[in-house]
Amino acid sequence: MVRRGVLAYVLVLVGGLVVSVLPASSVVATLPLLSDLRSSTAGRMLGLAVVVVGLGLASSAWLRLVREVSDLRTPEAERISLVHRAAVAWTVPLLLAPPMFSRDGWSYAAQGALTHLGLTPYVWSPSILDGPIVEAVDPMWLRTATPYGPLPLVWGSAAAGLTSDPWLLVVAHRVLSLVGLVLLAWAVPRLCRWSGADGARASALVLASPLVMAHGVAGVHNDLLMVGIAAVALVLASRHGWFVGALVVGAAAAVKLPAGVVGIGVVLVTLPLAASVAARLTRAAQVAAVALGTVAGVGVLSRLGIGWVHALGVPGEVETPLSLSTQLGRLAHLLTGVDLVGAFRGLASVALLAMGAAVLLRSRSGHREGALRGTAAVALASVVLSPVVHHWYVFWCLPFVAACVLPHRGRRTLLHVSWLGGLVAPLDSSLRGADDVIAVGVGLVLVTALVQGLAHRRAEAQARTPDASPTSPISR
């Protein structure tokens, strides 16, 4: 199972070198066979097929991992250890990969280079640079300021002081993704103890799923680091008080602002039982002040300031198909002829604020499970109601939802999101305009999903059979 996953991600890497966007001057892009494959439709189809087959094998290995670690006859510590070994092994083939399924990693590299030159990416865009560092940056973001916090920029600046190679700078940012995984590996089992959920199954969903491997590790998105720090913040708040929790929430928000919703969980878990409305509002103000102060402090110490706040609207320049408010706005536009996308996005933001307030004021205080459930609810709502939603935005709520005791339908939904979210990763924006390649990719993904779905259901049914083999899952 673990070896199958390693082989799978090797295939993802090999195919990704064909279909991913690379700097035109990079050594890899100019290799004879690879350059021929990359420049032809047939070659790109072949590369995409290899990627989908690799993700299919990876999904198969992961689904088996989930089934095995769900066997409660084996001690939880052994099952969590199996998840950790699988996650480590599966990340190895992706460590030196280019940014896959998204070009954001190349933007991170360019923004780090700007920071190293003493130019704040909150004012300057990568377009003022030239050479390999901007060759693979998505033209859509080439002339925009960054909406990310100062922490990843400081890291990118330090890396740019060691090398100017954009590929190596991307690898440096991938280290941040791995740090996020390590933090989640520590925090998730502890959050599960709050609710009584199975820590091994939750760890498998959060650490090793195709969604996390494809978009968090291969895709190099900052969201994995953000949510890792945020999950740690909630655990530390329950142990060391609201001030420590708020500091760490501020550190997470200094990566990406959505981490701030975890501040609600910090408030709830550090209040006494049956806290009054006044006490809740006072604690919320305290947590917000410390968290915002931490973000501002990081900005001052890094000399980057808080100019990123002005760029928070940059991601909203695109209309993503996964955004509920955007799709409702498009539907209203179709029916009325009036552009209502902005209005629906605004209503969704108001609904999110209202839900956050309701959870803050009405959820059970002084109770760990109540704080976890409240955090999970608001984090999930922040994804569903966001004006822009990409696959990796699921990271925002994944560890908190996975750590809750869910009904059967909820568990299956989370499993399918974590599985299919990775399987469809190749159908990203880098294929824009390549209709033939897209058609092949969609067909391959659909067939793979159907075959794997049926196989997984059959395996689950066999596992429930009374005469099923009692062999320990750890020994298989």
- Per-residue pLDDT at 470: 37
How is the chain split into domains, by residue range?
2-311+400-464
- Per-residue pLDDT at 446: 72
- Per-residue pLDDT at 468: 40
CA nearest 22: which of 108, 137, 177, 109? Answer: 137
Spell out the per-residue pLDDT of the chain, length 476, in tens: 889 999 999 999 999 999 899 998 888 888 888 888 988 888 888 888 899 889 989 999 999 999 999 988 899 999 999 999 999 999 999 999 999 999 999 999 999 999 999 999 998 999 999 999 999 999 888 998 888 899 999 999 999 999 999 999 999 999 999 999 999 999 999 999 999 999 999 999 999 999 999 999 999 999 999 999 999 999 999 999 999 999 999 999 999 999 999 999 999 999 999 899 999 999 999 999 999 999 999 999 988 887 777 666 666 677 788 899 999 999 998 999 898 999 999 999 999 999 999 999 999 999 999 999 999 999 999 999 999 899 999 999 999 999 999 998 999 999 999 988 888 888 765 545 455 556 666 676 777 767 666 666 677 666 665 444 333 333 33
